[in-house]
Structure 1
Amino acid sequence: MKVFVTGASGHVGSALVPELLRAGHQVVGLARSEASAARIEAQGAVAQLGDLDDLDGLRKGAAESDAVIHLAFKHDEMYAGDYQGAADADLAVVQAFLDELSGTGKALIGTSGTLSYSGLGHTATEDERVPSESPRGAARNAIIDATDVRGSVVVLPPTVHSALDTAGFIPILVRTARATGVSCYPGDGKNRWSAGHTLDAARLYRLAVEKAPTGAILHAVAEEAVTMREIAEVIGRKLNVPVESIPAERAQDHFGPLAFMVGRDAPTSSTKTRELLGWEPKEPGLLEDLETGFYFEQR
């Protein structure tokens, strides 16, 4: 297949492009800059210059391809405090793709996050329905509810980890601990995040574009639950700084753009994803990756 990929030069995209190429697919990757285009082309794919605001360009990329994998998101806006604005832009992109692909039966693979399951009180499964009123819920639901495209959504854990991860949640936590001289966790630190390796996530996206059924929700989760205290303890030990609890009223000052996320509890299962697509994570776990040390190199 010829696959159009947004976010092709980013963290997960940089693993997904070679994964697709090795499987015999052609890849056209969206690039916001000449530098990003060069990285995409160096991997053997074709670059299409443009960004998430260029809806006509996105429609063109979709029309000229057999499938679309939508990875890109306006993370800069989210970290600046406008999560809803970034989510609204994402919904506009998804609607443009759905309009272009309507009636073709082509695959559209979207992206969401397991922190959408926060506060359920149980381990989330692929059967969960996320309210459209939640920031990324409308885009997710638009894809899985579409009947005239082969739409599915890959749900990423907050900690998609590997040496390719230079700007995600774990690097931010490491930089925060280094800058403040303390590695903090919220409250008692028992809240849980799911986790998964970048290379395992890339394999799941490939399987999704090849054979996921219409309306599938796919969890790119290798570990259902890693506590924030466990994460903070490894970071503290690797940086040789104290590890401390931080109360909710100080979270914004300490964690900055991650303050509204660090206290969330969202354990997530991927049992049904594994059964549906035969996907089996095989890369190192989060704490093992943290122990390896690459997250603590000055990059």
Structure 2
Amino acid sequence: MRVFVTGASGWIGSAAVDELLAAGHEVTGLARSEASATALTAKGVHVRRGDLDDLGSIRAGAEAAEAVLHLANKHDFSNPAASNAAERGAVQTIGDTLVGSDRPFLFASGVAIPNLGRAITENDAYPFHGPDAPRGGSENLALEFVERGVRTVCLRFAPTVHGFNDHGFVAALAAIARDKGVSGYVANGDNRWPAVHRSDAGRLVARGLETAPAGTILHAVAEEGITTREIAEAIGRAFSLPVASIAPEDAQEHFGWLGGFFGMDVTATSILTRELTGWAPTGPGLIEDIDAGAYSALAAVTE
């Protein structure tokens, strides 16, 4: 199958591309830089130059493909409006291009649904609609294309997709801990984050492409909820730092843009995903990864 992938050289995208290639698919990746293009070419991936603001390139990539994986996101937490607008524009463009084709359109979303009071499942609808909503309301926008002849599949990733060379939330928490001289958690640290290893996330993307019917929501979640105190303690061990509670009113000052996220209590299951696709996570858990040096090794490389 000819598959067009945005975010093909990214953290999750590169793992997904490896799985697609191993399964015999022909992959074209969107690359915004020469370095990304070179890395993709070395893998045997065709390259289409462009970024999330280049809707013409995204449209052309979707037109030429038999399936589309949209895994890119600006993740600009200093300007969320720009990130949301780019995400919505890309989803709208891909969906419009695939209308009436019954071609697969898999896209990245997240499991954070606020104030649910229980673990999030694949049957829970996102409450975010419209361009001003988080991620530009892109999950609900993409799912609207099911009725227009697109095999849309939503990939909800855990907030922590971890592993060696991860530059995401846990890497940011580790950097904050080293800068502050203390590994912190908010309040009593009982709030939880789901997690999944990068290799498992990549395998689920490939399985979803091959098995998931239109309108399916898949959860890339291996661990339903790890307390933020456990995460902070593991970071403390990794860098020989003290561990301390940060008062909720001080979280924004201590953690910066990550303060609101790290104070959330989010749990999610993947029972339905596993039953539907046969996916079974095999990678190490988050605490195991931290203890194995995944984030202290990254810090040593960047120093």
TM normalised by structure 1 equals 0.96
Q: Is 1:136 aligned to 2:172, yes or no?
A: no
Query: 1:71, 1:177 → 2: CA distance?
Result: 29
Whole-Å separation in 2 of the counterparts to 1:86 and 1:137: 8
- In structure 2, what is the equivalent of residue 32 of structure 1? 32
Equivalent residue runs for 1:90-101 within 5 Å? 90-101=87-98
Give the superposition deviation at 1:89: 1.4
**1:89-113 alpha-carbon deviations (Å, 9 max, x no partner):** 1011100001100001111001111
Asked whether the 8 Å contact 1:149–1:214 carries over to 2, the reply is yes
Look up the match of 1:110.
107
Which residues of 2 match residues 169-184 of structure 1 at below 5 A? 169-184=169-184
**1:119 counterpart = 2:115:** yes
Equivalent AA in structure 1 for residue 163 of structure 2 = S
> After superposition, what is the alpha-carbon deviation per residue over 1:119-167, rounded to whole angstroms, capped at 9, x for unaligned?
21101100111113441362101222322100011101111011141x2
Q: Give the equivalent residue in structure 1 for 2:259.
A: 259
CA contact (8 A) 2:110 2:158 kept: yes
Select 2:80's aligned residue among 61, 80, 83. Answer: 83
Tell me how far apart the structure 2 counterparts of residues 200 and 6 of structure 1 sit (CA, whole Å). Answer: 19
What is the SS of the residue equivalent to 1:12? Answer: helix
Please give the alpha-carbon distance, in whole angstroms, between the structure 1 residues aligned to 2:219 and 2:81.
Answer: 23
Per-residue CA deviation, residues 235-263 of structure 1 (Å, 9 max, x unaligned), is 01111111011012211121112112011
Q: Which amino acid aligns with 2:229?
A: R
Q: Partner residue of 2:162?
A: 161
1:144–1:217 CA contact under 8 A, matched in 2: no
1:3 partnered with 2:17:
no
Deviations 1:214-239 (A, max 9, x none): 01110000000101000000101111
| Total equivalences in the alignment | 294
Classify the secondary structure of the residue corresponding to 2:291: helix
Cα contact 1:119–1:264 (8 A) shared by 2: no
- Structure 2: tracts of 5 or more residues without a match: none
CA displacement at 1:47 relative to structure 2:
1.2
Query: Which moves more between the two structures, 19-28 or 245-254?
Result: 245-254
Amino acid at match of 2:135: R
Rounded to whole Å, the distance in 1 between the matches of 2:268 and 2:120 is 5
Cα deviations by residue, 1:193-219 (Å, 9 ceiling, x for unpaired): 100010110011111111211011100
CA distance in 2, matches of 1:109, 1:264: 27
Secondary structure of the corresponding residue to residue 153 of structure 2: strand
1:61 pairs with 2:66: no
For the residue of structure 1 that corresponds to 2:134, the secondary structure is: coil
- Which position in structure 2 is the counterpart of 1:197? 197
Q: For the residues of structure 2 that align with 1:19 and 1:276, how far apart are their CA atoms?
A: 19
- For residues 3 and 211 of structure 1, what CA distance do their matches in structure 2 show? 15
Percent identical among aligned pairs is 47
Amino acid aligned to 1:101 = L
Does residue 235 of the first structure (1) align with residue 235 of the second (2)? yes
Q: Is residue 165–residue 295 contact of structure 2 (8 Å, CA) maintained in 1?
A: no
Amino acid at match of 2:87: D
Evaluate the alpha carbon distance shift between residue 105 and residue 164 of structure 1 in structure 2; reply closer, same or farther with a 3 A threshold: farther
In structure 1, how many angstroms separate the alpha carbons of the residues matched to 2:52 and 2:174? Answer: 29
Whether the 8 Å contact between 1:164 and 1:198 is mirrored in structure 2 is: no
Residues 44-66 of structure 1, C-alpha deviations (whole Å, 9 max, x = no match): 11111100000011000000011
Q: Which AA in structure 1 matches 2:127?
A: P
Do residues 249 (structure 1) and 249 (structure 2) align?
A: yes
Determine if contact 1:98/1:149 at 8 Å carries over to the other structure: yes
Q: 1:65 is matched by which residue type in structure 2?
A: A
Query: 1:189 is aligned with what amino acid?
Result: G
Post-superposition CA distance 1:148-193 (Å, at most 9, x none): 100011101111011141x200100111101110000001100011
Change in CA separation of 1:109 and 1:84 when aligned onto 2, cut-off 3 Å: same
Contact 2:220 2:270 in 1 (8 A): yes
What's the TM-score, normalizing by structure 2?
0.95
Q: Which moved more, 1:125-134 or 1:262-271?
A: 125-134
**Secondary structure of 2:188's aligned partner:** coil
Unaligned stretches of 5+ residues in structure 1: none
Does structure 2 conserve the Cα–Cα contact (< 8 Å) formed by 1:187 and 1:248? yes
